[in-house]
Amino acid sequence: MLVFFLFLVTLAGNAQDIKIEFDKNHDFSSYKTFSLGESEIILSNDEETIDKPKIDTWVKDAIASELEAKGLKKTDSAGDLTISYVINSVQRSQIENVGPLGGTPGVIDQPRSSMRDYNLSSFIIDLKNKSNDLVWRVNAQTRVSSSVETQEAISEVVTKGFKNYGKPSKNKRRK
């Protein structure tokens, strides 16, 4: 069983939280090819206007581009790594107390709070080897409110999630 090393990266962009899990002693140099496996996109009712096939294309293009930049080749047959992902999005509301300076001057008993709707999305990308062992996982949560923000968030999660893919751990470099 793999013992996963956990990195926590917090991004400012769209209030993202990204966790990358992998075995710090794993040799990633043996992987030369990848194939795209299963995916699932679950959107809240208000997001159904965003085309799921479009989101799927954004995700797969971003992943393929990032892994190809790392030296891996995409294949339609079974690759050394199989990539799968899940996106689950739910609508949330955030209520904030704006305090006495948030009101209109001279108006008494004015509500001192504001409410903002946003979508909280979980985005998990798994890389498994031919033995079906999980070797890399990107687990992100992001807030988005438009399709443009969705595409930007996908790109940012993939870029940050694979930033250190294939690099030897600091412990191995010292030896």
Reported as a pLDDT band with limits 50, 70 and 90, residue 43 is: confident
Q: How far apart are CA 172 and CA 41, in angstroms?
A: 38
Banded pLDDT at 2 (limits 50, 70, 90):
very low
Residue 109 inside a domain? The answer is no
158 inside domain: yes
Residue 16 falls within a domain, yes or no?
yes
Amino acid making up residue 31: Y
Residue 123 lies in a domain: yes
Within a domain: residue 106? no
Supply 73's token pair.
């080749």
Q: Are 39 and 62 in contact (CB under 8 A)?
A: no
Q: Which secondary structure element, helix H or strand E, spans residue 173, and what is its range?
A: helix 170-174
Where does the pLDDT of residue 126 fall: very low under 50, low under 70, confident under 90, or very high at 90 and above? very high
pLDDT in tens, 12-26: 344 478 899 988 888
Asked, for residue 43, whether it belongs to a domain, the answer is: yes
Decide if 107 is inside a domain.
Answer: no
The domain in which residue 74 lies consists of 5-95+114-167
Q: What confidence tier does 8 reach under pLDDT thresholds 50, 70, 90?
A: very low
Phi, psi of 80 (to 5 degrees): -65, -30
Tokens representing 50 are 């965003």
Whole-model pTM: value is 0.72
For residue 119, give the CATH number of its domain. Answer: 3.30.160.670
What's the rounded Cα separation, in Å, for the pair 67 and 59? Answer: 12
Counting the structural domains of the chain, the total is: 1
Report how far residue 158's alpha carbon sits from residue 82's, in angstroms, rounded to the nearest whole number. 15
Q: 74 lies in a domain?
A: yes
| Tens-place pLDDT, residues 93-106 | 666 666 555 555 55
Predicted confidence at residue 175, as pLDDT, reads 42
8 A C-beta contact, residue 83 and residue 37: yes
Distance between CA atoms of residues 17 and 119, nearest Å: 14
